[in-house]
Chains A and B, each alone.
Chain A
Amino acid sequence: MEKAIVLGCSALGAGIAMIAGLGPGIGQGYAAGKAAEAVGRQPEAAGTVTRTLLTGCAVAESTGIYSLLIALTLIFVNPLVGML
């Protein structure tokens, strides 16, 4: 019974953790918009802008990846069950 509660709460926690996916989504969208503006203003710098955008997106993605890893850990590794 206790195990079932912990498992269920872990699943809920995983779902809640993925709310953090909002942040990178908004941030990357904003960055991509700015990059599009930059390319529109300076089409000849498209290569550099794209490179910077990708690197920046990768860094902005970090929080999303953290939440994803927490969700994955909660679902697949079940660390809380071991604490019972």
Chain B
Amino acid sequence: MNGPEILFYIPIFGGLPVTETLRNTWIVMAILILLSLWLTSGMKMQGISKKQVVVEQGVKMLYQMVEDTMGKDKLFFAPYIGTLFLFVLFSNLMGMFAMRAPTADLNTTAGLILIYFMLNQYFAIKCHGLAGRLKGFVEPIPVMLPLNIVGEFSTPISMALRLFGNIASGIVITSLIYQALTWVSNLVFGGITAFPVFAVGIPAVLSIYFDVFTDVMQAYIVTMLTMVFLAMAMD
């Protein structure tokens, strides 16, 4: 099992590898930007089209969810949460189109969670003040200090690893299934054709669980956890 393929090197700092991950991220970004351009084109106040109803309903749902989970005073997070969800969802779903999902690379998930971590620290200090923030580490008892510090870092690390692990294991399992089906095909039809007959329809059915379900689920979960932990850090 290989990591992301290196496409070319940027000749600075001794050659920065540009990988499949980056290319697929750019594809996802392009899709999302074009999609939002298309979705928001021709928006009107009255006599709205079906497209606009859908996109408005989606945005309303997003704001409602942020309000329910984080509270009314943190509604300004909604665009970030929405971006996170859309980016992770589309990145996860890239795996269905025979491209390596950007989230199957630890760099992507770590980058996402790094943003979350910085936001978390910034708003925690902004809401509680530096002194209150430091005091929070020795609560409820000072003995908890090491645990609290570990907990502060383990939450984002586990979030990054969870997303990466789920998507990467999906890739591993899909490739294992392909290998197994190719092996069975060769066993059964080995004398007739080298084409892996069984590998045509069956993976699609399995990918409904391993790709679609897990992908949507993980996008939802990473968004949800980001909201919950941000709200917890601020309250």
Q: How many angstroms from the CA of A56 to the CA of B59 in the assembled complex?
A: 26
A51 near B1 (CB under 8 angstroms)? no
How big is chain B's contact interface, by range? 10 to 19
B221 near A65 (CB under 8 angstroms)? no
- A54, A58, A72, most chain B CB atoms within 10 A: A58
Interface size on A, residues (CB 8 A): 14
Task: List residues 112-164 of chain B with CB under 8 A from any CB of chain A.
Answer: 158, 161-162, 164
Query: Given A54-B217, A72-B169, A76-B1, is A62 in contact with B158 using a C-beta cutoff of 8 Å?
Result: yes
Q: How many angstroms from the CA of A69 to the CA of B225 in the assembled complex?
A: 20
Interface string of B1-43 (1 = CB under 8 A from A): 1110000000000000000000000000000000000000000
Q: How many angstroms from the CA of A62 to the CA of B2 in the assembled complex?
A: 24
Q: How many angstroms from the CA of A59 to the CA of B220 in the assembled complex?
A: 13
Q: How many angstroms from the CA of A62 to the CA of B155 in the assembled complex?
A: 10
B161 near A65 (CB under 8 angstroms)? yes
Task: List residues 83-123 of chain B with CB under 8 A from any CB of chain A.
Answer: none
Task: Across the interface, name the chain A residue whose C-beta is closest to B222.
Answer: A58
Cross-chain pair count, CB within 8 angstroms: 41
Query: Given A68-B169, A72-B168, A75-B1, is A55 in contact with B224 using a C-beta cutoff of 8 Å?
Result: yes
Query: Given A65-B162, A66-B161, is A58 in contact with B225 using a C-beta cutoff of 8 Å?
Result: yes
- Expressed in whole angstroms, the minimum distance between the Cβ of B37 and any Cβ of chain A is 32
- B161, B165, B228, most chain A CB atoms within 10 A: B165
CB-CB < 8 A to B224: which residues of A? 51, 54-55, 58
A69 near B161 (CB under 8 angstroms)? yes
A72 near B172 (CB under 8 angstroms)? yes
User: Is B182 in contact with chain A by the CB < 8 A criterion?
Assistant: no
Q: How many angstroms from the CA of A58 to the CA of B228 in the assembled complex?
A: 13
A55 near B225 (CB under 8 angstroms)? yes
Q: Which residues of B contact A (CB under 8 A)?
A: 1-3, 158, 161-162, 164-166, 168-169, 172, 217, 220-221, 224-225, 228
Q: Report, nearest first, the 8 A-B pairs whose CB atoms are least far apart.
A: A65-B165, A58-B221, A76-B1, A62-B158, A65-B162, A69-B165, A68-B165, A55-B224
If A51-B224, A66-B158 are given as contacts, then 6 extra A-B residue pairs at C-beta distance below 8 Å, sorted by A number, are A58-B162, A58-B225, A69-B161, A72-B172, A76-B2, A76-B3
